[in-house]
Amino acid sequence: MTMRLKGWHRLWIFMSLIYMCLIIVYCFIEFPKPERIAHKDEFYKKLSKQSLAMLHENGPWNDYAHPKAPPVGDDNFLDRLAGIKVAKRPTVSKEEWDNAAPIPKSGGVPDNSGWIPDKKDDPLGLLDDPIKIEMPNGHTIFFLNKFKKVEMESAANEYWTIVKNEANKERIHLVLYAFLFWLFPCLGLYLLGWGIRWVYQGFKSK
């Protein structure tokens, strides 16, 4: 027995296929790639304690590199997440900060700062220039320069694995939402056509 499709059924199938093609094109254009995943603070929270202990406090959560700068943001980031002790920098009032002499071109601390950094005051090397590693997604990770290159690369790879896992999650969400965006409009169109046909047959029978 051959199944015959009426004109409006064929029209519905044709429109559904065209709409599906548009959805596929959109998914292809917006398909999440790790390189497109913007950095999120929660990525750092997923790092191991060993990797967290390698991060420099002058990274994304601290905009000041000046050794006498007051705490900005979450200065206890490493304390809270990695459970390690971070050398605390002396805090100054806003007035003292505004009146401080500028940092000389040769680097170092202004003469009137009243505090000269010493290794014993900075056991973690937080005052040393950090090692920066730029990731494929454009995010820069700041590492303490006391660690070996292979250790920093290992931590960077761990971060990148987290980014790739995030990309996989977004891919699943995109495909799921794309299917739903295709399914419900197609079902709505079918029901609309069926309803119009039902109403038309009612007028025609009279």
The pLDDT confidence band at residue 62, using thresholds 50, 70 and 90, is very low
Q: Work out the average pLDDT over 136-152.
A: 88
Task: Determine the average pLDDT of the residues in 154-176.
Answer: 95
% of the chain beyond a pLDDT of 70: 62
CA dist list (Å): 56 to 43, 71, 112, 136, 140: 16, 14, 26, 20, 11
> What pLDDT was estimated at residue 187?
93
Q: How far apart are CA 39 and CA 192, in angstroms?
A: 44
3-state class (DSSP) for residue 198: helix
The model's pTM is 0.60
In the block, which residue shows the tokens 């002058």?
Answer: 58
Q: Does residue 89 surpass a pLDDT of 60? A: no
Coil, strand or helix at 114: coil
* Average pLDDT over every residue of 154-181: 95
Arithmetic mean of pLDDT, 29-58? 87
